[in-house]
A and B are shown apart, each in its own frame.
With several copies, the nearest count.
Chain A
Amino acid sequence: MKKKSKTDPALAVDIAGLKMKNPVITASGTFGYGEEYAEYVNLNQLGGIVVKGLSLKPRLGNPPPRIMETTGGLLNAVGLQNVGVAAFLAEKLPFLRRYDVAVIANIYGESYAEYARVAEKLSAAPGVHALEVNVSCPNVKQGGLSFGANPKAAAEVTRRVKAATDLPVWVKLTPNVTDITVIARAVEQAGADAVSLINTLTGMAIDLRTRRPHLKNVTGGLSGPAIKPVALRMVWQVAQSVAVPVIGMGGILTAEDALEFMVAGAKAVQVGTANFINPLAAEEIVQGMRLYLKHHKIKNIAEIVGTLQV
């Protein structure tokens, strides 16, 4: 690794007690379990990795086709295919532990109890540094979005997970709601240590030739730069509504995008779909942030968070 020069700006952030060397995290579902990108990306350069959403039992996921490109975006209905929490701990986590990077487990349950069980199992394992509670997946029948769009249910999931773990708990919010600040405040009051947003916007694509949906699941979640304006707006709104840290995402491709989210109030950012079109995206964003701060003589990244002048 490169030695830090004296004039290097400070990129380190602390999200509810979790210290990361920089605020750039790869987003759940877009970076596998880390190992998939290990030969492309120097994982040690990242602030954190959020692994693919984990459930108690392995999940098959939805039948294909699962993805479709749209203008500036990607629709997906993967349906939380994952190895399950036990296999994650046995087969995937040991690999991640070899790196100097925060590991955040994204968790999903079909019931309050399942959320709690998954949280409990992950908390016992060394090497998981925080939990991100997915109450916002649009691609599963049970749980997911139905919890996330309802402030009471979202709060209850948060309480149960908090009771089951000592790890910092991030709650990941859906944008498919009338007022995201209501949900954000509800989970904050229920004990969330941070909120991350946004998950995907529910969308659809149609194959005119067959008059069928392009996705077997009919609808899917829209991600990528197409949704960035919506994501930025919500991050800005939520950052003004809650006291806990906000982790922003949605269409971030470049360091400039990431910094815009931070100016809007995000203390850290996640990079999702960008990994697909440029596996080096997250690393390049870290590097770009460093250059930006240097160039603007900003000593610490914290100085720009929430500095939007309206």
Chain B
Amino acid sequence: MTEKAMARNIYLGEVSRNEEVRPDFFLMKIRLPAQFERPLPGQFVMVRVAGLQDPFLSRPLSIYACKQGPRFCTIELLYRVAGKGTRILAGLIPGSQVELSGPLGTGYRVDRTKKNIVLIAGGIGIAPLSLLVRELRRRSCRAADAMTVYLGARTETALVGLDALRQSCSRIIVCTDDGTLGEKAPVTKAFQRDLPKYNPADTALYACGPKPMIRSLAGLLNDQYFCQVSLEERMACGVGACAGCVVAVKDASGNKAYRRVCADGPVFELKDILWE
């Protein structure tokens, strides 16, 4: 490994697999030095192709899975080809090198006192939540049926991560906008219908998805529930130095403040978010 690999949190990784698991969705495995810190669910990495300066900035991607061995650590990223940067990532072949820093940001906080765990994922939002599900089962020893996952996507072929999720969770409610699989409804609609079943006192909610989904969730929950959401904003540094990735929140005294998604998040309490 080069010197770069020695610095804390900055690594040169090697792509060991990069497959199109669904049209426009890729799963990339990256081999990293063993000292890569164990990621919390919700944390992400900043990644770029080694030696390439176009695109200019690194791209943030959630850690979808992580396997630590004695000599290497292998992480998996599940990503959608959204534009130039992810298109270039999608073109990498095994053996390619990526520059990567992480794990970055805050993770989901698991509240062990809540007996209902409900996860709501929209589209590629499944990536961080999948890691959360696996960690919940492993670390908190939750049963596969102690969690409910609401999973929404545009259409069946955009429902990535579902098969893998089935291995750790037996209660999965699937929705698609076009009805090609599961209910033909927005995922928040399906969740809204079940909402009365979930008592605020013993329910923990975790969500990740496009902004409109998060926003309508905020409308449904009305600050009554413990709900953590993972947000996405364009990022430059990924470490809290540039203040480029902010989101408006209510601060401790109820005033408007901007918080950095990369360092203060990406996981926020839903009730703190200011919808302007």
Contact = CB atoms under 8 A, between A and B. Distances in A.
Do chains A and B interact in one complex?
Answer: yes
Given A67-B245, A68-B234, A278-B99, A36 B240 contact: yes
B15 interface: no
A32 interface: yes
B21 to A, nearest CB: 27
A301 B230 CA distance: 41
A67 to B, nearest CB: 4
Contact of A39 (B9, B56, B58): B9
Contact of B56 (A29, A63, A69): A69
B54 A279 contact: no
A74 B241 contact: no
B8 interface: yes
Contacts of B48: 277
A203 to B, nearest CB: 14
Interface stretch (B123-131, B182-190, B213-221, B255-263): B255-263
Interface residues of A, number: 36
A72 B101 contact: no
A276 B243 CA distance: 11
Q: How large is the interface on B (under 10, 10 to 19, 20 to 34, 35 or more residues)?
A: 35 or more
Given A66-B246, A71-B54, A74-B56, A276 B240 contact: no
A31 interface: yes
Given A61-B258, A66-B243, A277 B263 contact: no
A66 B244 contact: yes
B256 A76 contact: no
Interface string A279-309: 1100000000000000000000000000000
Contacts of B95: none
Interface string A22-37: 0000000111100011
B210 to A, nearest CB: 15
B55 interface: yes
Contacts of A40: 7-10, 101, 239
A277 to B, nearest CB: 6
A224 B245 CA distance: 18
Contacts of B67: none
B144 interface: no
Contacts of A41: 7
A74 B53 contact: no
Contacts of A30: 237, 241-242
B57 A74 contact: yes
Given A81-B243, A273-B236, A279-B101, 6 more contacts: A32-B240, A36-B241, A63-B276, A73-B56, A276-B236, A279-B10
19 contacts: A29-B243, A30-B242, A31-B241, A32-B241, A32-B242, A36-B240, A36-B263, A37-B241, A40-B239, A63-B248, A64-B233, A65-B233, A66-B246, A67-B234, A69-B234, A71-B56, A72-B53, A276-B241, A280-B4
